[in-house]
């Protein structure tokens, strides 16, 4: 299936770019290029001297970037995880000088809809789920070697599914008979082991989310990226993050709250000035969700939550 045939609708496009770009001459980072929806609008807002660096794990996204923005000297892209943000920014002599970092944490539609990527139970395909197919192990490889307890913990922790132990037991029993190599195989095993199907939701939804998050180290990478973003931004720089499930949003919300509040370990018996608190961020507005119109046009935007913060020190 060609990349061109798989369409991706960028979520909260106008809202995210409006929040991000405060200086048309600045240097910006799109940490999750995808198919370039946010990057295209950022470039449209930049002056001839502005610059945009994008990052993506997916080689198909890298190829899309080279084709789509080949003639724009203001743009370049790095292949890898956004957990290497500081490295990529430093390579461009912009550490501490970044005007804005944008992270769209959703899986792109081409990844979800291409059966060969193995992200979805809606289409049968190889059980892979790696965003970067050049490194690491696939879900099929992991599921054949992981212990029953590890599989159960992943489903419970990253899928928030209380039936993780039953599902893990079913997986271990099934793999003893034959290797689990396709999404259809795994989806049936998980579904049959799930005693409480939710209306309107495939019974393997939470488990598939859990396996994807685990195999791509999504939450660990997010925590690393947030810390590096704060140090990479200049004072006045913006951090704009779009999350799609509660695990991601919880990490983002706590990170922003921590650096808005500052040092809360100071003794209560002494007067505290703002400089003593070492506050580094200021939250910008409340969380933003997709409008009803956007949700109607793109149902995948329903769960999106955007949070914005400015670096103040």
Q: Is 56 annotated as a binding residue?
A: yes
Q: Check whether 192 is labelled as a binding-site residue.
A: no
Token output for 107: 């899986």
Alpha-carbon distance 54 to 14, whole Å?
A: 18
Contact between residue 148 and residue 168 where contact means Cβ atoms under 8 Å apart: yes
Residue 128, marked binder: no
Query: Does 36 count as an annotated binding residue?
Result: yes
For residue 82, say whether it is annotated as part of any ligand binding site: yes
Which residue, among 235, 186, 173, 233, has the nearest Cα to 212 in the 3D structure? 186
Annotated binding site: 36-38, 56, 82, 104, 111
Annotated binding site for S-adenosyl-L-methionine: 36-38, 56, 82, 104, 111
């Amino acid at each position: 299936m060609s990349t061109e045939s798989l369409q991706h609708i960028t979520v909260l496009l106008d809202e995210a770019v409006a929040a991000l770009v405060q200086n048309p001459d600045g240097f910006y980072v799109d940490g999750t290029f995808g198919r370039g929806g946010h990057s295209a609008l950022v470039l449209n807002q930049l002056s001839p001297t502005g610059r945009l660096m994008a990052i993506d794990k997916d080689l198909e996204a890298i190829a899309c970037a080279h084709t789509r923005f080949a003639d724009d000297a203001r743009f370049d892209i790095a292949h890898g995880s956004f957990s290497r943000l500081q490295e990529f920014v430093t390579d461009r002599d912009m550490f501490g000088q970044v005007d804005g970092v944008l992270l769209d944490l959703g899986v792109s539609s081409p990844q979800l809809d291409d059966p060969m990527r193995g992200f979805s139970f809606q289409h049968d395909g190889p059980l892979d789920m790696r965003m970067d197919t050049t490194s690491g192990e696939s879900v099929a490889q992991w599921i054949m070697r992981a212990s029953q307890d590890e599989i159960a913990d992943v489903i419970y922790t990253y899928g928030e599914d209380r039936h993780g132990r039953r599902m893990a037991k079913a997986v271990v029993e099934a793999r003893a008979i034959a290797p689990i190599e396709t999404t259809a195989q795994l989806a049936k095993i998980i579904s049959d082991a799930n005693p409480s199907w939710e209306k309107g939701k495939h019974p393997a939804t939470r488990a598939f989310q859990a396996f994807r998050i685990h195999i791509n180290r999504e939450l660990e990478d997010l925590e690393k990226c947030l810390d590096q973003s704060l140090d990479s931004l200049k004072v006045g720089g913006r951090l704009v993050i779009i999350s799609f499930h509660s695990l991601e949003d919880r990490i983002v919300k706590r990170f922003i709250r921590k650096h808005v509040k500052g040092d809360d370990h100071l003794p209560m018996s002494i007067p505290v000035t703002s400089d003593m608190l070492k506050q580094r961020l200021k939250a910008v507005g409340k969380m933003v969700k997709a409008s009803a119109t956007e949700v109607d046009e793109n149902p995948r935007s329903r769960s999106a939550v955007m949070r914005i913060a400015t670096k103040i020190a």
